[in-house]
Chains A and B, each alone.
Chain A
Amino acid sequence: MKHRSFAFVAMLAAGLPAQALAADCTTLNGSSPIIYGAGGSAQTNLVGKAAVVLQGSTSPVFVVYQDSAGACAGINALAGVGPTSITGSASYWDSAGVKGSCTLALTGNAVQFAVMGNSPLLCPLITDPSLVADITDVTGPISSVNVFVPNASTQQSISSEAFYLIYGLGAAAGIAPWTSTDPAYFIHRNENSFVQLYLATASTLPVTKFYGVDAGTNANSVAYAAALANPEQGIAFASGDVADANRATVRTLAWQQAGQDVAYWPDSSATAFDKANVRSGQYYLWGANHFYGLQGVAEGSFADANVAAYVGYLSGASQPVGTTKTITETAVANKNVPTCAMHAQRSGDLGPVFAYEATEPCDCYFDFKATGATTCDVCDDSTPCATGTCRLGYCEAR
């Protein structure tokens, strides 16, 4: 512990508070095995909510997650094309779901799982599919990507072409009101960020040529936008669950993809929460979250049993022993769309959209949890459904 003691003394000598050093991550897990992950900040809240469920299992797993290096950091680590360990500080969640910060090992902790909203081939360092051939990739709840403005802005919509020009040229594009000469008004991320990768793909703007300032995380993007002196001129983007959680300060713009006649919000209106246009595929900027781990002996399996338990929960493949909260419930609570509420799917990142019907739909449950209303009948063991199937307390279509 000599280095920790030295650091402590050094901080005191520098006049820094002693509590600035977060607890060692390995002192927080009790007797539970720890798994270390890295990836996007867009998924941090979902990662945390799932982590709490795993802690409640009769075979608990303690999750530590770092999102400061961008979405691609995790898959880069697993593929061995970037740092394979995470260092510094990371996030953890206590049994009540409160997020905290803990200190990683000085020499780093090997990344065991990765999370991001895109497939590996969008990441700049994953230049060939063979680099991820030994990595299992499973998908889970749906996330949207939202372009937003401060609430005081009067703007309602944006086209993919205008987005390209605004973020490519800044004020020089001459597209009012986004004509400030201050780069701070054009808030973006970097080439390792899921949201920027998606918007680069949708708009065709090269991912490394975004004008403005890099906010670093989804949460910072919201904070930066909300703090702008002239809200009318500001613009930013983040994952849908982060944008939705911050409607008190920012407002999502309706997105008009090239080839689309009008612009749509992720929801049926600017103020709804039903994600109707994500679920139908009409809102363009959406995709399934991806969860990764090193492959086990069998194709599609995970080498690490604890990673398998955690990622299996996130993908809906398994329910941790001794727990009852399903990934559907967790996803809805996090303002993601569970796949059982989707009516569209797509092939690849922002690929063509086609029909999807879940074998066990949860439209009724999602509608009620997301909006507070549903036309479906409630049900339980003593009140069975006249038609359909009782699931999560509602009579679903089947």
Chain B
Amino acid sequence: MRSLPFVFVLMMGVVGCKDQGESDTSETGVGDADTDSDTDADTDADTDSDTDTDTNVDTDTSAACWITGPVAECWDCGLPASPEATSEKALNQCTTSTYATFDNGARIPSATWVEGTPLPAIP
């Protein structure tokens, strides 16, 4: 098998700040149950306040919901109560799930596409 010119990270462990005490990611229901209960509490406690303060253009308190994770910031405050323009918060939730990383910059030749530019039209 030829050497594969890519880099990916497969991590077992915590993404979210609240779960840093857990060193193992359980693949049974235990970790998920904990996560769900935390999410429920956050949904009840934080979503409304986030919704209220999101309308205040001078103070972005939703920034407090973006906490530092092992790879990048993750959303720590539960899903929004109503659809928003994008799913950015949903896609980057703090979670105990394992993840992989597909490095577009390393895997996709620059002659094909460079991240940050429009994808090429398909003939």
Contacts and interface: CB of A to CB of B under 8 A. Distances in A.
Given A157-B100, A262-B71, 8 more contacts: A154-B4, A156-B8, A162-B107, A165-B120, A176-B107, A264-B97, A282-B91, A363-B33
Contacts of B87: 257, 259, 281, 284, 346, 352-353
Contact of B122 (A175, A205, A261): A205
A261 B29 contact: no
Contacts of B92: 259-261, 282
Which secondary structure dominates where chain B touches chain A?
loop
Interface in A115-136: none
Interface string A149-181: 000001011110110110011000111110000
Chain A interface size range: 35 or more
Interface residues of B, number: 61
A357 interface: yes
Contacts of A204: 119
Contacts of A375: 29-30, 33
Nearest to B37: A397
Interface stretch (A49-57, A214-222, A272-280): A272-280
Q: What is the predominant secondary structure among interface residues of chain A facing chain B?
A: loop
Nearest to B122: A168
B71 A174 contact: no
Contacts of A363: 33, 36
B114 to A, nearest CB: 10
B102 A269 contact: no
Interface stretch (A94-102, A103-111, A289-297, A364-372): A364-372
B122 A371 contact: no
B47 interface: yes
B33 A269 contact: no
Interface of A: 154, 156-159, 161-162, 164-165, 168-169, 173-177, 204-206, 209, 232, 254, 256-257, 259-265, 267-272, 274, 276-277, 280-282, 284, 343-344, 346-347, 351-355, 357, 363-364, 367-368, 371-376, 397
Given A157-B101, A262-B100, A277 B40 contact: no
Q: Which 3 interchain pairs have the tightest Cβ spacing?
A: A367-B29, A353-B90, A157-B100
Contacts of A344: 79, 90
B102 A264 contact: no
A211 to B, nearest CB: 8
A368 B28 CA distance: 9
Contact of B27 (A175, A274, A351, A397): A274
A259 B112 contact: no
B29 A354 contact: no
Contacts of B96: 268
A344 B108 CA distance: 32
